[in-house]
């Protein structure tokens, strides 16, 4: 009988999940049986699973989303927002562990972001062998330079900026693009620079509405009659809190959204012609770009390597062009945020991009 390995996808969907699944299954197929749990940890809790084989996963290897389905709520919500950790009820942990043992699993591989990896660590503390693979369009997982899904999300935002810029130039308008980024501004920063934004607003740098107005008015005086603004959903001004579009609902966290509209209203009230666009879940959907496909394949293969070598309690990481691993506990203690004084921010300022401060 082959050794059994469990795998699940937790948290928000993300381009590259199916690619990781496929590469891992192909890497382990000869010596292991892969148990795929449906809807993340809920599948482990409810004993809802399927046996994955390479003939099946190969059909979906570059499809967006996840063939195993996923949830970012339920019994295993390990994050309450803003990086705070929530202790999972011990009875829930015990039930998951019981199913893990009944299925005779050697290890559980978790594809997830900060919340899912924090839940995985709590399972690890209760005796499960865990290997984490960092998934996040926000690129906010500590320990790795890049998470799969991030590059695709950035490209989608850049394409949106390219289109908005033509409208902004034609109508001499201010176009505001709101992108995802609850606590980290990596999508906003990278897409803003690559997409030619004039103003980038991110959670790590508190902005001033008056400063935004001053920048745009100065551009007009210099003959630049259109402006592109990228704002992360979690960006805040010096005199207000984050903008929530929904409190509670089906998510364990308050849903962010609306800061782009707020900025647009302010600009219109001050005599400018401004329009706003919120990308929302468009950033999560669709197939991964080539670089995300490559990264996902590498991470799947490397996770398989850790299984074969029985190296558990680790997170697969990609740093300086090389695959490796770091202790899971070290990668969930805090989020990886943009450094307001970091090189990329300073480079952006050097070419005239304002951060509204």
CA 114 to chain centre: 9
Catalytic residue list contains 145: no
In whole angstroms, give the CA distance from residue 307 to residue 53. 17
What the block records as the tokens of 70 is 């996923």
Q: Which residues pair with 131 in a beta bridge?
A: 109, 314
Q: Give the whole-angstrom CA distance, residue 308 versus residue 305.
A: 5
Residue 102: its H or E element:
helix 90-102
353/355 Cα distance (integer angstroms) = 7
Question: Tokens 């592109």 identify what position?
Answer: 228
Alpha carbons 83 and 298: distance in angstroms, whole number? 28
Neighbours of 221 (CB within 10 A): 8
Distance CA 59, CA 65 (A): 13
Cα–Cα distance, 114 to 45 (Å, whole number): 20
Active-site residue (options: 13, 22, 114, 138): 138
CA gap 205, 185 in Å, rounded: 9
3-state secondary structure of 140: coil
Cα 338 from chain centroid (whole Å):
14
Q: Which residues are catalytic?
A: 138
């Amino acid at each position: 009988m082959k050794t059994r390995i469990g795998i699940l996808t937790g948290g928000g969907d993300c381009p590259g999940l199916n690619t990781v699944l496929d590469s891992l299954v192909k890497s382990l197929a000869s010596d292991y049986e892969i148990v795929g749990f449906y809807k993340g940890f809920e599948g482990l809790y409810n004993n809802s699973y399927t046996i994955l084989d390479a003939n099946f996963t190969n059909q979906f290897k570059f499809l967006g989303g996840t063939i195993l389905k996923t949830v970012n709520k339920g019994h295993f919500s390990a994050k309450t927002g803003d990086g705070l950790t929530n202790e999972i009820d011990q009875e829930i942990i015990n039930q998951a562990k019981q199913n893990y043992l009944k299925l005779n699993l050697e290890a559980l591989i978790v594809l997830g972001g900060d919340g899912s990896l924090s839940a995985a660590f709590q399972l690890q503390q209760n005796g499960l062998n865990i290997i984490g693979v960092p998934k996040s369009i926000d690129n906010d997982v500590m320990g790795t330079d890049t998470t799969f899904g991030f590059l695709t999300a950035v490209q989608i935002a850049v394409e949106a900026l390219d289109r908005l810029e033509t409208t902004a130039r034609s109508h001499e308008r201010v176009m505001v693009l709101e992108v995802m980024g609850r606590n980290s501004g990596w999508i906003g920063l990278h897409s803003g620079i690559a997409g030619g934004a004039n103003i980038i607003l991110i959670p790590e740098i508190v902005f001033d509405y008056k400063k935004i107005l001053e920048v745009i008015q100065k551009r007009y005086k210099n003959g630049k009659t259109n402006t592109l603004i990228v704002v992360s959903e979690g960006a805040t001004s010096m005199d207000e809190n984050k903008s929530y579009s929904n409190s509670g609902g089906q998510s364990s966290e308050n849903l962010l959204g609306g800061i782009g509209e707020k900025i647009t209203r302010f600009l219109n009230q001050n005599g400018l012609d401004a329009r706003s666009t919120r990308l929302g879940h468009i950033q999560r959907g669709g197939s991964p770009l080539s670089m995300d496909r490559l990264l996902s394949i590498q991470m799947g293969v490397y996770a398989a390597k850790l299984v074969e070598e029985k190296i558990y309690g680790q997170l697969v990481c990609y740093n300086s062009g090389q695959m490796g691993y770091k202790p899971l506990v070290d990668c969930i203690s805090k989020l990886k945020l943009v450094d307001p004084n970091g090189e990329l921010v300073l480079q952006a300022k050097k070419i005239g991009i304002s951060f509204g401060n």
